[in-house]
Structure 1
Amino acid sequence: MLMRLGVGLSCLGGLLLSSAVAATCVEHPPLQLQIAGDSALDSQAQLVWKRCLLGTTWNARTKGCEGVAKGYSQKEAQRAAQAVLGEWRLPTEPELETLLVDSCAGLKLDRRVFPNVAAADFGEGAKIWTSSEALPGMFYFLNFSVGGLDMHSAGFGLGVLLVKDAKGKRQ
């Protein structure tokens, strides 16, 4: 009798724990960013994000990104960001982490805001560069397929989302 009770309590505890873990993910997250065409404003962090991966462009008619995403090395990404009009740049690791959403399934960011980040999956997950150096010659990236942070050598080709400071942001 005691053994059955112990097994029953263990099973019940496991069910409660798994229910609690499952309850922490968000199926339909509240919209955190204010969408304005090809960009989105994070008023809390005072950042403006390009909604499409670098190399693709926003189509206002279809309300989506067009073109083929490609992987950029750190140098290529920095040069491409400077070539875009405005003060666009690669995000720092803490800035990029603000986009993480604990979704129940799929990408760990709001696809209503960033509709083509899945295109950055070149076979190992939707990995997006940051400008934050982890070690000499190694930079952090965020894998939005799993919500994990990792690092890679600067010459490796990964996806890029651009960001800039919102007007009036205190430095």
Structure 2
Amino acid sequence: MSAAEPGDSDVDRRFALPATADERTLLDTFLDFQRDALVRKCAGLSDEQLRSRPVPSSSLSLLGLVRHLATVERWYFQGVIAEAFPGDLFDLTDDFDAPFHDVADAGGPETFALWRAEVAASRRIAAARSLDAIGRTPGTGAERSLRWVLTHMTDEYARHLGQADILREAIDGRTGE
């Protein structure tokens, strides 16, 4: 299986849940569905296609979205919830959006390995805490509950997956779920 090939990620577990599932199960399952959708939207593409910016009015690429989401996973789970931010994944000194833009030398396998490692760390951190656990945003000290972070991350993925749909369709005509 290549870096962005579907496997178990092509199974939609959201609708297999009982409608009365507990809050934690719902939050974890819906976020994991969004994470899996990222893999599905990138599946079967070459590094060149993943790096391409096929929408003339945008500088976005699928690989840039994966890099950004790895960064966001690290920021919210390690930085905010665990309050143990290990530093940025990419050099953000000159360009806060570097994960989106600096993809010229990025490859699919390495980028997805990095993203998977960040997701695994996020899952470990979340699993060890209650939904009411409070973390603080580095720099500002703003408080965020794990419940808020899980909800925000689902939203973060969903918004970027809309962009991924447009990029994928422009690359090879493949559309949505």
**TM-score computed with the length of structure 1 as normaliser:** 0.24
Q: Point out the structure with max Rg over C-alpha.
A: 1
- In the superposition, the TM-score normalised over structure 2's length comes to 0.23
Bigger RCO of structures 1 and 2 (CA < 8 A, at least 6 apart): 2
